[in-house]
Chain A
Amino acid sequence: MSAPHVSSTVAVRPRSAILSGLALVWEKLSHEPVGLIGFVFLGLLILVAALAPAIAPFDPAAQNLQAAFLPPSWAHLAGTDEFGRDILSRLIYGARITISTILSVTLIVGPIGLIIGVVSGFVGGRTDAILMRFTDIVLSFPSLILALAFAAALGAGLGTAIVAISLTSWPAIARLARAEALIVRNTDYVAAARLYGASPLRLLFLYIAPMCIPSVVVRLTLNMAGIILTAASLGFLGLGAQPPAPEWGAMISSGRKFMLDHWWVAVMPGIAILLTSLAFNLVGDTLRDLLDPRHARA
């Protein structure tokens, strides 16, 4: 083993690690057809959201009162609403709102929940007690009610909805991460790391957090379905995205008034919400099978 050989393997190591990891995930995923459907659906949804201007057949905000309440047809695949706007185009643009809401909430909630949970479980003692009582307090807030309070204080809007949902959904993640950290901190490999002088920060981020991340990712993915529903509920109540933004929940809310005569106005966004939250649930379940050995299938 000459020195140059060693350094060349070192240079290649990180990339091959990622590639072999991805190959492993793909191999496992091919055994999960239902989960694969979820992944494909979400991939398409993200693609649609990203390419919305190119895909959408009409301007989502363009009104044409002569074309109001047209039933689904080849010209308007999902019909038109009370202002003659093409519902399919609105759904396509609405995917952007849904995806960005989910991403924002997840990006806020994931790190906060993980850090609070891991620190709480690892440090223990008084820190743990204080952090967990605080978590319990937040856990007791119903997210819709809190969102109502926020909307009243800050004005209704998508940003308010994101803040409100984030504030109420991190405690579950923190609890989960703490439970994992409590197990991991007593393992022999952490004891060994203490013996060779690993600092608390090193233990926390390189030893304990990586063990908590899989279950947190699974939980976050399963939460996404809930986030879609909460965001839609807020939109329905008029506290989320404001008109004319094509938010799916708000679309159901406005379509509700015409539901008996023009069913498609409310049903089309309903189907979009149903399919998307279902896809997130499938993906979450599959991720759990893939990442969490305790839920491994035979």
Chain B
Amino acid sequence: MIPTPPMIDVQELSVSFGNGASARQVVKNVSFSVAKGETLGIVGESGCGKSTVLRSLAGLDRHWNGRINLAGTDVDKVRTRDQMLLTQMVFQDPYGSLHPRHRISRVLTEPIRAMGLGKGWDKVDAALQQVGLPVSFADRFPHQLSGGQRQRVAIARALMLQPQIILLDEPTSALDVSVQAEVLNLLADLKDERQLTYVLVSHDLGVIAHMCDRVLVMKGGVFVDALSREDLYEGRTHNDYSRMLFEASAL
């Protein structure tokens, strides 16, 4: 489809927690790849391992085995500085993903400072504007913002280091339906603007259908179905489980 090498290439990724007899394999030998500029959705019920896949991609979970290749380089469990610059993540809960005692300006400059790229104050205004927030928000604390506004700040923060891959862990499930649409549209606009590659994890098929070029259905730690955008619109499924999932959500 696209001749360039995939942005994300995962081969035989498995993740297990615990050791010995109590070990539990949460993700079982999954392989997938995502092209540059593509949005891949992963759906499944709670506990199927979809968030674990995402956290392994991000480098937050270090219990994985297999091969993860990002932008042409194999990454290890401990990321180098350049590899960290490749991926950022937006979390599910906008109330928990911003430090409660950091002002918004501080939240947004922290990635730049932590990377040792200077102070970053001059980038705050542009960062707020690009996610549709007024510049005056820079002096506020997170508790002075609504959930949708916080999620916009979290998205702005994820973009501060200009990553090529954004990992979205149910970015709208904690928001009102009206705000959900705003945030999803913002994400779609930013993606077109910056040629971003998204991996979106959700259990909301409406969100997935709106955002994704391709969807993987996950169950019990393995992918049971892969659906294209056309499949989604026409309601085609290739597996009993994914049919059940789609019928249950009855779009």
Cβ of B236 under 8 Å from chain A: no
Residues of A near B111 (CB, < 8 A) are 196-197
Closest chain B CB from A239 CB (angstroms): 42
Given contacts A10-B121, A196-B110, A196-B111, is CB(A191)–CB(B99) below 8 Å? Answer: no
Query: Considering only CB atoms, which chain B residue lies closest to A189 in the complex?
Result: B99
Contact B97 A17 (CB under 8 A): no
> How far is the CB of A283 from the nearest CB of chain B, in Å?
22
B145 within 8 A of A: no
Residues of B within 8 A of A16 (CB): 139
How distant is the Cα of A17 from the Cα of B101 in the complex, in angstroms? 12
Task: Give the residue name and chain of the B residue nearest to A211 (CB).
Answer: B101
> Which of B86-94, B183-191, B216-224, B238-246 lies at the interface with chain A?
B86-94
Q: Give min CB distance, B98 to chain A, whole Å.
A: 6
Task: Give the contacting residue for B161; candidates A191, A194, A196, A211; CB below 8 A.
Answer: A196
Name the residue of chain B whose CB is nearest to the CB of A203: B114
Contacts of A189 in B (CB 8 A): 96-99
Interface residues of B in 141-162 (CB under 8 A from A): 154, 157-158, 160-161
What are the residues of chain A within 8 A of B105 when measuring CB–CB? Answer: 13
Binary B-proximity of A170-196 (CB < 8 A = 1, otherwise 0): 000000000000000001110111111
Q: Once the chains are docked, how many angstroms separate the CA of A194 from the CA of B111?
A: 10
| A199 contacts partner chain B, Cβ-Cβ < 8 Å | yes
Q: Give the distance to chain A from B91, nearest Cβ to Cβ, in Å.
A: 4
Task: Let me know if A196 and B101 touch, CB within 8 A.
Answer: no
* Size of interface on B: residues with Cβ below 8 Å to A: 35
A202 within 8 A of B: yes
Q: Which positions 107-159 of chain B face chain A at CB distance < 8 Å?
A: 110-111, 114-115, 121-122, 125, 135, 138-139, 154, 157-158
Is A3 in the interface zone, CB < 8 Å from B?
yes
Contact of A188 (CB < 8 Å), options: B84, B97, B115, B138 = B97
B84 and A197 contacting across the interface, CB-CB below 8 Å? yes
- Knowing A193-B110, A195-B87, A196-B84 touch, does A6 contact B60 (C-beta < 8 A)? no
The complex places the Cα of A202 from the Cα of B91 at a distance, in Å, of 21
Q: Considering only CB atoms, which chain B residue lies closest to A213 in the complex?
A: B101
CB pair B121–A195 under 8 Å, yes or no, is no
Beta-carbon contact of B91 and A188 below 8 Å: yes
| Residues of chain A contacted by B89 (CB below 8 angstroms) | 191-192, 195
Decide: B122 and A3 in contact? CB cutoff 8 A: yes
In the complex, are the beta carbons of B121 and A1 less than 8 A apart? no
Q: How far, in whole Å, are A187 and B139 apart by their CA atoms in the complex?
A: 23
Chain A residues lying within 8 Å of B154, measured Cβ to Cβ, are 192
Contact (Cβ within 8 A) A195 B122: no
Question: Which A residues between 223 and 280 are near B, CB-CB below 8 angstroms?
Answer: none
A198 at interface, CB cutoff 8 A:
yes
For the complex, what is the distance from the CA of A3 to the CA of B115, rounded to whole Å? Answer: 23
For B98, B114, B138, B160, which residue has the most chain A Cβ atoms within 10 angstroms?
B114
* B36 located at the interface, meaning its Cβ lies under 8 Å from any Cβ of chain A in the complex: no
Q: CB of A33 within 8 A of chain B?
A: no
> Is residue A210 within 8 Å, beta carbon to beta carbon, of the partner chain?
yes
* Docked CA distance A6–B128 (Å): 13
The smallest beta-carbon distance between A243 and chain B, in angstroms, is: 48
How long is the Cα–Cα vector from A1 to B121 in the complex, in angstroms?
13
Determine whether the beta carbon of B59 is less than 8 Å from that of A195.
yes
Task: Report Cα–Cα, A189/B143, bound state, in Å.
Answer: 14
Known: A3-B122, A192-B91. A187 touches B96 (CB 8 A): yes
- Do B93 and A198 have beta carbons less than 8 Å apart? no
Per the bound structure, the CA–CA distance linking A210 and B100 in Å amounts to: 10
| Interface residue B103 (Cβ < 8 Å from any Cβ of A) | yes
Task: Flag whether A207 is at the interface (Cβ < 8 A).
Answer: yes
Contacts of A191 in B (CB 8 A): 60, 89, 91, 97
State A286–B22 Cα separation when bound (angstroms): 47
A-B contact pairs, 20 of them (CB 8 A): A1-B125, A6-B125, A10-B121, A13-B105, A16-B139, A189-B96, A189-B98, A192-B157, A192-B158, A193-B99, A193-B110, A195-B60, A196-B88, A196-B114, A197-B84, A197-B111, A197-B114, A206-B110, A210-B101, A211-B101
Q: Which 10 A-B pairs have the closest CB atoms?
A: A196-B111, A188-B97, A198-B114, A188-B91, A188-B96, A189-B99, A197-B84, A10-B121, A1-B125, A210-B101
Beyond the given A1-B135, A202-B114, could you list 7 further A-B residue pairs with CB under 8 A, ordered by the A residue number? A191-B97, A192-B91, A195-B58, A195-B87, A197-B115, A207-B99, A210-B101
